[in-house]
Each structure stands twice: as structure tokens, then as C-alpha cells.
Structure 1
Amino acid sequence: MPSSSSKEPPYRRAPPELEELQKQLKEFLDAGFIQPSKAPYGAPVLFQRKSDGSLRLCIDYRALNKIAKGDEEKTTCVIRYGAYEFLVMPFRLTNAPTTFCTLMNKLFHPYLDRFVVVYLDDIVVYNNTL
């Protein structure tokens, strides 16, 4: 990992953001999406306000996106409650759409052009009677 991705202190948060951070952290842990990490580096976490006013958790993976071939440890993010790494593919990784599309094409290969179409993150299943 580039030295610019060293483990930096987590960003400071306003109390409403801390509350949302704790909520989303618990959801991700309970769902098995992340696990505690001992990686020597981590990407910073920030929030983006959505149009409905809710907060979307975002991880700044720009440094990671500059390097090739990754593994779970490289998805480590740092927050005030520790470091966590993803066990599933997170959003905003450069190769995530291509990797997902390739996996779906392999999975649905026997059915492609018969009754399944895969386009990026859309999967259409069709038949003549619908």
C-alpha cells in the first residue's frame, strides 16, 4: 500500500455523525460485512448527506484505487472505534463494477442470451409470457 495510505487518526465527528457511525458500524458487523482489522494502514471515513437528509458512510479509497490486485486487508478503514476491513466488496473501489459483472456473467453463463441479461449491476430475467 502506498505510504500515503498510512493509518492516520480518524476524522473528528459531530455528535449526530458519531451516532450514525455507531449505528452503521453495528449493522455492518452484525451483517458480516466487516470485521476488526489489524492492518498497519487504513482509509479515512467520511459522511455524505443524501437528498433525503440521511447520511451515507463513504470511505476514501483513492490511494487504494491507484494500486493493482487487492485483498481484504487493503479495504481497512479507520474510525474512532478501531480499524475494520470489508469481507464483501465495498462501493467505490475502481474495479468493483467490472469484478461484479464478471462474476455474474460466470454465474449465469448457461442462461445468458436464453433468458438472462447481465449489464453492470442489473440482471434481467425474462421469458415470452411476461
Structure 2
Amino acid sequence: MQHGKVIAYASRQLNPYEVNYPTHDLVLEAVVFALKIWRHYLYGESCDVFTDHKSPKYIFTQRELNMRQTRWLELLKDYDTNIQYHPGKANIVADALSRKSGMIAGRCSHVCIKVFDLSAGQD
């Protein structure tokens, strides 16, 4: 988001092995996917990640992680991210895109990344 408006969307299909991931891993995978796609914009910048699940907020405080989560955590540490919970019902724009009728519940995730331009207004 920039100035409160969405500037880009991204999506992809799950790989066959990802279909069996638990929901909290799918949400974290969506965050990692977004960071990889927009890494050239986000690296070195402060960004907020809004998700409709609370579980990614607590990834940094977990004591035991599997190898996949450990790998994702290492990637997340490379970025200055702040993961925030944003209720799904309050996210009307992403709701219309990600919650189509007929889709399997729990298999659709969305990520909204908000990048703050710290140099704006310093002219």
C-alpha cells in the first residue's frame, strides 16, 4: 500500500505438497512469497505486513520450529518487517479478491504489504 492505496497484487497456485501444509504455514508462505517477489523494493526499507491470521505474529517467539519454518524465519530476518494482524472482515478489498464463492475454506491467504517512504517530505 502506498498512501493508503494498493499498488500491486500477487497470487499463485499451491504446489501439490503445499496443499497439506497447516494454515499457519500457508500464511507464512504467502508472506515469504510476497517478500521474494518485491525484494528489490523492500530490501532496506521498513515495511508492515498485514495478514488476516494471528499466527505469523508469533513466529519470532516460537521455541521449536521445523526446518521449513526456520528457513522462512531466516529470510524474514533479512527484512525490516512488522507483521500485524488485520481482521479479514475489515479488509474489504482483499476480501473480494481472495474469498470467491466455491473456494476451499482455509486455503486462500492474502498479504498486504505497506511500504513507508522515509525520504518523502525531506526535500
In which range does the TM-score fall when normalised by the shorter chain? Answer: under 0.3
Higher gyration radius (CA): 1
Higher strand share: 1
- TM-score for both structures, normalised by structure 2: 0.24
- TM-score for both structures, normalised by structure 1: 0.23
Higher helix share: 2
